[in-house]
Amino acid sequence: MAFFIVLVVLGIVGFGVVSLRASRENDDSPAPTGTGTDSPGEPRDIPPLFPDFLHGVLFAVGKEPTPQNLLALSEYVSQMISANAYGWFHQFGDAAAEARFSRRFRGGGPEGQALEKVPDDMIDFLWDWNPRARDALREWIPRLESDLAAPESRLWLYGDELPFGMWEDT
């Protein structure tokens, strides 16, 4: 549980630093949902998490990329992205975006969506939502990968099969 809390705090702090830098560079911009320096339709430049990111994390922690492990890790990563997303929505005071995100992703994403693709869908949502989130995501995703593979990662606590609901374990 402490590892998850540290990840969430690091993500929120990291996003705050990036946002503060962006806001200082764009003090004359009153809009809370953009810096004015990025085009709203800028294509995502963060590589998809499925499959390479997830496979890389599983390999780093000595787990096989079985369907169970991929789905459990996807669920875990989705929870981490959600925790950061809610912090970012609050930071920017965008309750409408928070409500849209909640409607879309509560319960594992839209009907029929493959669970292993939910983290990428969340990143796409955040990418399109606010241009200032892009720098935070660019910094946070590589750090997330390192943290998940680190010796103190909770992924090491389990045997060959990762369980669902890892973020709830204390």
- Let me know if 165 is exposed, middle or buried by CB neighbors in 10 A (0-12, 13-18, 19+): exposed
Q: Compute the distance between CA of residue 120 and CA of residue 21 in angstroms, rounded to an integer.
A: 26
The residue ranges of DSSP E strands in 17-148, in sequence order, are: none
Predicted confidence (pLDDT) per residue in 1-52, tens digit = 454 444 444 444 344 433 433 333 333 333 334 433 344 578 999 999 999 9
Predicted confidence (pLDDT) per residue in 91-147, tens digit = 999 999 999 999 999 877 777 778 899 999 999 999 999 999 999 999 999 999 999
CA 111 to chain centre: 20
Q: Compute the distance between CA of residue 124 and CA of residue 44 in angstroms, rounded to an integer.
A: 7
